[in-house]
Chain A
Amino acid sequence: MLDIHINWAIVSLTVSSGVVLLLRDWRLTVPALFINYLSVAWFLDQQQFIAPDLTIGGFSLSTTIVVKVITGFAASAILGITAITFSREYNLEDLDEFSLAELRRAARRAQRQRASEPFRLSEYVVPFWALVLAALASLALPRLYPIGSQTVDFAWYWLGLTGLFTIVIAGDTLKIGLGLLLVVSSIDLVYTAIASTVQVFPLALLSLTTIVLSLSIAYLSGLMYGRLKTLDLSALYKR
């Protein structure tokens, strides 16, 4: 009988970043990003070189893992709250009549666009094949260019590639942010799991950069929504 050992942290990591790549609705992708951060932390916790130095509720954990969970929570919360509120309050009394009219026009245009956008399965064809391509590459690259153990290599290649493809096929600002965060998460994973001497300061700064990145994306998304009433990237280039 075959003894198959399933690493559930890897499964969770793979599925959650796949959801970010495949789906468009932020109500699913932002929680998936948070699950992804939890999975990365879980996966790193399995690595022997990260020694537990904290006890929380009977669980022995490493500070590094706790920091990663907090970072993931912060980044996901920033994007989630932005997606819920989606507005940057312009000081309407400061605006001239042309700007006010432009805001009204943008709101009408966005409303029309939303009304004429039914669910189409064809929109998921490119993300699906991107997912397949990422899966194939993540299975092949650890054999061609191994850096650490095969599991670690698969995890960081998968995260990096799904992040990259998410950015490439993204149709809105928030999704670009999710892709960038996946790429950063991939680099974070590879550094924590492979670097011969993990230094505290770069790790702390990487967490800070992750939060600043999500703040930047949140700010730009809010600004764009406040201005164009949509996050659709094509609206940025309409004359």
Chain B
Amino acid sequence: MSYALLIAFPVALGASCFLLRKETQLVIGLSVAALMVQLALVLFTPVDQPVRLLGLTLNLDPLGRLFLAGFPAVTALMVLATQRLPQGEHFISIALIIIGVASAIVVLLQEPFVVALLLVSAGLLSVLAIVDLPTGAPTLVAPRVIASALKYTVLMAFAGALAYMGFVLINVYRPGISLDQTAPRLVLALMIVAFGARIALVPFHSWLPDLVEDASPLASAMIIVVLNTTGLLFLISVFQFFPALAAENERGLQLLTWLGALAALVGSCLALVQDCPRRIIGYLVVYNAGMILFGLATTSPIGLAGAVFEALNQALAVPLLMVSLALLEQPDGRLPKTMRRNMLWRWPIAGSGLLGSGAALVGLPPLSGFASKMLLYDIAARRGVFLLILLLGATLLAMLALARIARDWLTGAPEDQPISETPLLLGTTELDLPPKRHLAPEPFIAGLVVLTFLGGILAIGLYPQPLLETITDVIRGLTFVRGES
């Protein structure tokens, strides 16, 4: 019953918010309260007590609970930030429904066919958030936004079709009985391509930088945090329920570790050569996707713990990155065409949020990404020095890309120097004078949201032990994990 409630409650609240969507403040308050209730529901739901409903098995494992608790908490903070950040009319209702679908995915992980389709449905639903406009917006949807939404739709539908096909083949193929050696390889390849398209792994990444560049930052954050992360849980559950995929694909998994490391390197290289800050940020997430695949493909306790921890880190860092980005892009009282290069000094909280989240994403101490990256470097070092060099090189390039954002946008000198007052001449009217500068202060609530996220990232970075222990406990129970511990 409580599992069904986890799914139905946010969906019902999402529908209510849709009906009330014109009442922005009411919807924000209602949705934050609903998300807090959802968080409490997740925390009080018993784990590992499978039940049958409509012929399906529902279960919540500790790892699923960890992520399901994170989603409403992070989304509530993002929703709070929408008080000052312009968002699509339907953003909040879509976010709540996506949380409901994500809950369904997590509790139905034992039903791979259903989960593959739910992931597609959630992806299609989020398309509405991508092309959404604020209530009563006087502008049109930009063609590039429609292009990004279309690209995302096609790739997500394909990812779903490939995953579904993989399960059909698993259904046909009997692990350990069939003499056909192609089937497990083909299934693994289908799953990895589906997973790669979902988490924006090089070379299936092209949708993500476009999305980050064109869509509203919070819609992008919602997609990256909730849908990409559930994609990771999905792949872990596939390996868990079909361990033959890992056991009969030793070389395939070895190849995947290299592909993951290379994907991270290519992602960070591409981040470095971008001109637009939004695209740099998009490619930093692509770099991170490579790191996650690397950890997962090692199928070792350390690597897997690193991958899961990294996904959690991403779920915290990306919303902070996007909220800070949205804040820094707000008009601050200067003329629209003025180059703004001093945002760290001008709006220090948002500037620090951007730098902090970027640093967490690339794994700088003492932030949350440091622990996960150390686990990944550890397993890379055990697997070979070249792998370690690849990962370190990727991180170094990602750091340079982040430094570029800081130099170009955050720490420079202000481009518009205050004009010295000239004495009034005879016959001068108000129209002859330059407009008075009213530089806006940093929005209070959005600033508070940024500080909360920063605090969370710092706290996990300084004290990662409780999270790591939970992750390690869960990983110990996974059947496909082997090797170095």
By a beta-carbon cutoff of 8 Å, the part of chain A in contact with chain B is 90-91, 94-96, 98-99, 102-103, 145, 147-148, 167, 173, 176, 180, 183-184, 186-187, 190-191, 194-197, 199-202, 205-206, 208-209, 212-213, 215-217, 219-220, 223-224, 227-228, 233, 235-238
B157 pairs with A94, CB closer than 8 A? no
Across-interface contacts of B417 in A (CB, < 8 A): none
A220 pairs with B182, CB closer than 8 A? no
B140 pairs with A224, CB closer than 8 A? no
The proximity string for B residues 120-135 relative to A, scoring 1 for CB distances below 8 Å and 0 otherwise, is 1100110110010000
Tell me which of B143-151, B257-265, B275-283, B386-394 binds A: B143-151
A177 to chain B, nearest CB (A): 9
- Separation of A228 and B140 alpha carbons in the complex (Å): 10
With an 8 Å Cβ cutoff, the count of chain B residues facing the other chain is 40
By a beta-carbon cutoff of 8 Å, the part of chain B in contact with chain A is 54-56, 111, 113-114, 117-118, 120-121, 124-125, 127-128, 131, 136-141, 143-144, 146-147, 149-150, 153-154, 157-158, 160-161, 164-165, 168-169, 171-172, 182
Across-interface contacts of B138 in A (CB, < 8 A): 94-96, 99
A220 pairs with B124, CB closer than 8 A? no
Instruction: Name the contact of B146 in the complex, choosing from A99, A190, A216, A224 (C-beta under 8 A).
Output: A224
Instruction: Name the contact of A237 in the complex, choosing from B111, B114, B143 (C-beta under 8 A).
Output: B143
A180 pairs with B165, CB closer than 8 A? no
Pairs A–B under 8 Å by Cβ, sample size 8: A148-B172, A186-B161, A199-B55, A201-B56, A208-B117, A219-B127, A223-B131, A224-B146
A237 pairs with B158, CB closer than 8 A? no
B402 to chain A, nearest CB (A): 29
A145 pairs with B171, CB closer than 8 A? no
Instruction: Name the contact of A227 in the complex, choosing from B118, B141, B153, B168 (C-beta under 8 A).
Output: B141
A-B complex: 3 closest residue pairs judged by Cβ atoms: A202-B113, A96-B138, A236-B147
Known contacts A147-B172, A213-B157; decide if A99 and B150 are in contact (CB<8 Å): no
Instruction: Name the contact of A209 in the complex, choosing from B121, B144, B147 (C-beta under 8 A).
Output: B121
- Separation of A220 and B128 alpha carbons in the complex (Å): 9
A201 pairs with B55, CB closer than 8 A? yes
Instruction: Name the contact of B164 in the complex, choosing from A191, A196, A223 (C-beta under 8 A).
Output: A191
Instruction: Name the contact of B154 in the complex, choosing from A99, A180, A223 (C-beta under 8 A).
Output: A180
B158 pairs with A183, CB closer than 8 A? yes
- Separation of A141 and B154 alpha carbons in the complex (Å): 24
- Separation of A214 and B139 alpha carbons in the complex (Å): 27
Across-interface contacts of A235 in B (CB, < 8 A): 143
- Separation of A223 and B51 alpha carbons in the complex (Å): 42
Known contacts A183-B158, A216-B124; decide if A223 and B153 are in contact (CB<8 Å): no
Instruction: Name the contact of A196 in the complex, choosing from B56, B120, B154, B171 (C-beta under 8 A).
Output: B171
- Separation of A212 and B123 alpha carbons in the complex (Å): 10
Across-interface contacts of A224 in B (CB, < 8 A): 143, 146
Closest to B173 in A: A147
B117 pairs with A220, CB closer than 8 A? no
Number of inter-chain CB pairs below 8 Å: 123
Across-interface contacts of A94 in B (CB, < 8 A): 136-138
B154 pairs with A167, CB closer than 8 A? yes
Across-interface contacts of A191 in B (CB, < 8 A): 113, 164, 168, 171
A99 pairs with B140, CB closer than 8 A? yes
Across-interface contacts of A145 in B (CB, < 8 A): 182
A228 pairs with B143, CB closer than 8 A? yes
A99 pairs with B168, CB closer than 8 A? no
B229 to chain A, nearest CB (A): 21
Across-interface contacts of B144 in A (CB, < 8 A): 236-237
Closest to B118 in A: A205
Across-interface contacts of A212 in B (CB, < 8 A): 121, 124-125
- Separation of A121 and B89 alpha carbons in the complex (Å): 45
Known contacts A187-B161, A194-B171, A213-B157; decide if A199 and B113 are in contact (CB<8 Å): yes
Across-interface contacts of A199 in B (CB, < 8 A): 55, 113
- Separation of A98 and B143 alpha carbons in the complex (Å): 15
- Separation of A176 and B127 alpha carbons in the complex (Å): 15
Across-interface contacts of B55 in A (CB, < 8 A): 199-201
- Separation of A223 and B164 alpha carbons in the complex (Å): 29
- Separation of A228 and B113 alpha carbons in the complex (Å): 38
Instruction: Name the contact of B147 in the complex, choosing from A186, A200, A237 (C-beta under 8 A).
Output: A237
Q: A201-B55, A205-B121, A236-B147 are in contact. List 14 more A-B contacts (CB 8 A).
A: A98-B139, A99-B139, A147-B172, A148-B172, A176-B150, A184-B157, A190-B165, A202-B113, A202-B117, A209-B124, A219-B127, A224-B146, A227-B143, A236-B143
Across-interface contacts of B136 in A (CB, < 8 A): 91, 94
Closest to B147 in A: A236
Across-interface contacts of B114 in A (CB, < 8 A): 201-202, 205
Closest to A191 in B: B168
B169 pairs with A183, CB closer than 8 A? no
A152 to chain B, nearest CB (A): 11
A201 pairs with B54, CB closer than 8 A? yes
A141 to chain B, nearest CB (A): 12
A109 to chain B, nearest CB (A): 12
Across-interface contacts of A167 in B (CB, < 8 A): 154
Known contacts A94-B137, A187-B165, A212-B124; decide if A194 and B113 are in contact (CB<8 Å): no
- Separation of A224 and B142 alpha carbons in the complex (Å): 9
- Separation of A225 and B164 alpha carbons in the complex (Å): 32
Across-interface contacts of B117 in A (CB, < 8 A): 202, 205-206, 208-209
- Separation of A224 and B55 alpha carbons in the complex (Å): 41
Instruction: Name the contact of B120 in the complex, choosing from A90, A197, A202, A209 (C-beta under 8 A).
Output: A209
A97 to chain B, nearest CB (A): 9
A196 to chain B, nearest CB (A): 6
B118 pairs with A236, CB closer than 8 A? no
A88 to chain B, nearest CB (A): 9
